[in-house]
Structure 1
Amino acid sequence: MTAGGRFITFEGIDGSGKSTQARRLAATMERRGIPTLLTREPGGSPGAEEIRRLLVEGDPHRWSPETEILLFTAARRDHLERTILPALAAGKTVISDRFADSTRVYQGAVRADARAMVDTLHDLVIGRDPDLTFVIDMDPELALRRGLARRSGEDRFEEFGPDFQTRLRAGYLSLVRDFPDRCVLIDGNRPEDAVAADIAAQVGQAVA
């Protein structure tokens, strides 16, 4: 467990509902009187938000997987230094929509066979994993339709298509097996309220 506050992350394929569930959990924690910071990746600090635009906008093939790993790691380091660590030191619960597991899956396993590079950089530059990670699992085709329907302009990864989303899902299922002590698999193929209730119950069990 992290000294100070607790560090909780949400992971999953694009359109899985993880951002919605991160917001809902943050609101639940605040209602319970628990000081909470909601943040996201890539982003979460001024410098990291600038890098975010390079990563989530534009042509799907604008960067190689290796370049993406370096950009994500740079953004994550700034996010960690300027946002996450100060909040944890102040005793806040930090809830992040994505963290290092996204890079492990997207670039380390699906975009390229570069997990060793991802893990080495993580150990050298980041050196921290969450206390608890919710992996929202859902049907890749449904998730892709949801993601593209948002028309957010940040759909670079959705534009890789359905096969990419299917491989991402497999990568996340493998991640849960790799980190069973902190990763909790959540069925996202249910109504939003049911998913939120499941997550709130899991957080309560982790606190108990």
Structure 2
Amino acid sequence: MARSTRARRGRARLRAVALIGIDGSGKTTQAHRLADALTAAGRPATYHRNAGGRRWLGRLAHRLGRPDAQRLVGRTGLLVVESALRWLAIAAALLGRLVTGRVAVMDRYSVCQYVSIRAHGGHRWERLARIAYRIFPAPQVTFLLAVDPAEAYRRIEQRGTDHESMRYLTAADAAYRALPEYPTFVVVDAGRPPEEVSRQIQAHLAGWLAAPATPATAADPAAGRRPEVEWLPVQARP
């Protein structure tokens, strides 16, 4: 089974990879690094931030004297706006992939919206969201960056650009693990230093970057032997 999986990955063309996880898990950092590393390895890739606009709404709420986005537009309003904006972002990312042929590295994907709905207690809206998002194909690989909610909270407070409650982070962490898609995720320990997390992600994708066999190499395997993919070091983004 493992051999056939590696062989299939070697023949397949990597089209889309998603990085998901609770806020503060390092999704954006790792998505940027992965897009840069794939491009450096000869697999042109584009980073796509599929945000739902919650951070922007939160900033707007503060300017208007409200404590958070939910107090500004209500729970239902927040979920509707977030679902619509994320849907549009994912649609634009997939369209861009079709036009350019580049690997789409997705910073968040549709399952992130299902988690947001569950964490906000709007479970009855998940069915509608799944109907709307079902037109999007599943990425070939989805990495779940798993981190303790307390560590995620510390990171968010340290960056100082937004705020999340421990209650929400804990609920979102539990929601990811309860999703029916969870068994298909590649779970990565995101509590480690960023460089180690990058190595975990890149090591898993090495199988997808294997060169497909050709008639010439099938006749003479030694002729088609290539060194393993060399991942070039990527500078950390601020």
TM over 0.5: yes
Q: 1:70 aligns with which of 66, 70, 80?
A: 80
Corresponding residue number in structure 1 for 2:129: 118
1:193 to partner: Cα distance: 1.2
Would the alpha carbon gap of residues 54 and 15 (structure 1) be closer, same or farther in structure 2, given more than 3 Å must change? same
Letter of the structure 2 residue corresponding to residue 148 of structure 1: E
Partner residue of 2:232? none
Task: State how far apart, in whole Å, the 2-side matches of 1:4 and 1:204 are.
Answer: 12
| Contact 2:90–2:109 (8 Å) recurs in 1 | no
Q: Percent identity?
A: 28
Mark the CA change 1:188 to 1:5 in structure 2 (over 3 Å): closer, same or farther.
closer
> Residue in 1 aligned with 2:43?
34
Equivalent residue number for residue 185 of structure 1:
187
Report what 1:131 is aligned to: 140
In the TM superposition, residue 147 of structure 1 has moved relative to its aligned partner by 0.8
Deviates more, 1:66-75 or 1:19-28: 66-75
**Structure 1 residue 198: deviation in Å?**
0.5
Count matched residues: 191
Partners of 2:95 and 2:14 in 1: how far apart? Answer: 9
State the secondary structure of the residue aligned to 2:23: coil
Measured in 2, the distance between the counterparts of 1:42 and 1:26 equals: 17
Contact 1:69 1:118 survives alignment (8 Å): no
Q: 1:80 to 1:136 in 2, by over 3 A?
A: closer
Please give the root-mean-square deviation of Cα atoms over the aligned residues, in Å.
2.6
Helix, strand or coil: the match of 1:16?
A: coil
Unaligned runs of 5+ in 1: 44-48
TM norm structure 2 = 0.70
CA distance in 2 between counterparts of 1:141 and 1:163 reads 10
Runs (5+) with no aligned partner, structure 2 = 1-8, 62-67, 211-238
Query: 1:134, 1:64 → 2: CA distance?
Result: 31
